[in-house]
Amino acid sequence: MPAAGSLAELAADMRAVALLEGDFVLRSGRRSRFYFDKYLFECRPDILRRLGVELARLLPSGSQRLACPELGAVLLGGAVSMETGLPMCIVRKAAKEYGTSKAIEGGLAVGEKVCLVEDVLTTGGAALAAAERVRAAGGVIVGLVGVLDREEGAAESLARAGIPFHPLLKRADVIPGS
């Protein structure tokens, strides 16, 4: 586990650049006074590099490949891949309708032990959809590492699907007064 100080500093830096206040509709359809804009922190190399290091520490033992749902988790997966040397694949929301028509880009072998990499999780819906695609392609999900658990049901949904969940940060770490 990372030193509490470095993780607290990372959370503070992410909060400073990516926490928005207002009235937002989340992917889950829920409304929130806070929105944690993943692109505002993922597009900052100083933060992305540190996230790669910290998420790499959370990977389940035996992970052979990373799987990153498009679009939001691709940069994170790349950072973790570069930190660990593990190959990654990109899980599309839907198979593209041209070229190779793949739902998973970058390769995935049947039986390969896969750790999903995610950004911000509310109910876990997007992560579960990605896990379903990985399993359909023959991958074995050994866990999911995520940047932020908003603590609104993702952990429970992932547990029901048999996916061990390892969040780097929880809502209280980045959203004040939550």
CATH dotted code for 4-174: 3.40.50.2020
Percent helix / strand / coil, the chain, rounded to 5: 40, 30, 35
Residue 109 has pLDDT above 70, yes or no: yes
Q: List, for residues 19-42, the tens digit of each pLDDT value.
A: 999 999 988 788 989 898 999 999
Cα separation, 67 vs 159, whole angstroms: 18
pLDDT of residue 12: 94
Report the pLDDT value the prediction gives residue 178, as an integer from 0 to 100.
Answer: 64
Please tell me the least confidently modeled range out of 13-17, 70-74, 100-104: 100-104
Surface-to-core class of residue 75, CB atoms within 10 Å of its CB (0-12 exposed, 13-18 middle, 19+ buried): buried
Determine the Cα–Cα distance for residues 140 and 149; give it in Å rounded to an integer. Answer: 23
Share of the chain above pLDDT 70, in %: 92
Query: Is pLDDT at 134 greater than 90 in this prediction?
Result: yes
Please give the pLDDT value at position 3.
Answer: 45
Q: Residue 83 burial (CB < 10 Å; 0-12/13-18/19+)?
A: middle
9/6 Cα distance (integer angstroms):
5
Rounded alpha-carbon distances, angstroms, from residue 119 to 25, 38, 152: 17, 7, 15
Give the mean pLDDT of 153-168: 97
